[in-house]
Amino acid sequence: MTTSTSADLFDLTGKRVLVTGASRGIGQAISVGLAQRGARVVGAARSVEGLKETAGLVADGPGSFQPYAVDLRSPESIDACIAAAVEELGGLDVLVNNAADDHDSSIEDTDLATFQRVLELNLQSCWLLLRGASPHLKASEGRVINIASILGLVAIRNDTAYISAKHALIGLTKAVALEWARQGVRVNAVCPGYVETSMLPDLEANEPVAKYIRRMTPMGRWAQPEEYIGPAVFLASDASSFMTGQTLVVDGGLTAQ
């Protein structure tokens, strides 16, 4: 590895980044945050309009953002996405696996098709992206950031598919980190707590849910997507040069209880 001074530990100028789920929420915030620090970002998601919105937020920054519309439940589409990102960027330094989906129901009320659908996006797509990006990440001694969840560490009732996928994603993070450590590739995960995104109900209109989140979280509020830019910059940069196979929990203290 190359050593860095304290002044440039967090510098991402020219870094070549692929972010999934870049059209909204945490993925959009991370895409904008990395580009604002000089990274060249390809953002992948299904929503063309959402990707256009992300591109608009990056327009005047030092980095860049190139949208790529893709169905991440399709192995063939994932292969094409990686190829397009590498062609656009000339290689790959950072992969952010962020795209996610949820389905709230008891195990009895969750059919197999729904369970498989949730695992396809939350786990299988990450596995496929890691496998497909492997040669490019090894060539650059790159970094992987898997966006997991506190529900990869603990459980709640009536969310079996999502919880299964996020627990497995943390295991996948550790396993691939060990496989790639000698090639200089760092693989880590971030576990958000409750974040105000479209995956949560409208918190302004659903006071019981908002009250529950405030009560459960020691800091007394839910997170904003922009609060995950800092952890992503840290894991994408030389500031985390001796960190791999780890899970960075950013949950307002919830899992400390």
Considering only CA atoms, which of 192, 187, 254, 188 is closest in space to residue 229?
Answer: 192
162 given a catalytic annotation: yes
Considering only CA atoms, which of 248, 250, 242 is closest in space to residue 189?
Answer: 248
Annotated catalytic residue, options 68, 162, 194, 228:
162
98: phi then psi, degrees, rounded to nearest 5:
-120, -25
Tokens linked to 14: 């020219």
Considering only CA atoms, which of 103, 169, 90 is closest in space to residue 136?
Answer: 90
Tokens linked to 103: 């389905």
Enumerate residues 6+ apart whose C-beta is below 8 A from 6. none
Tokens linked to 204: 């302004």
Please identify every residue annotated as catalytic.
Answer: 162
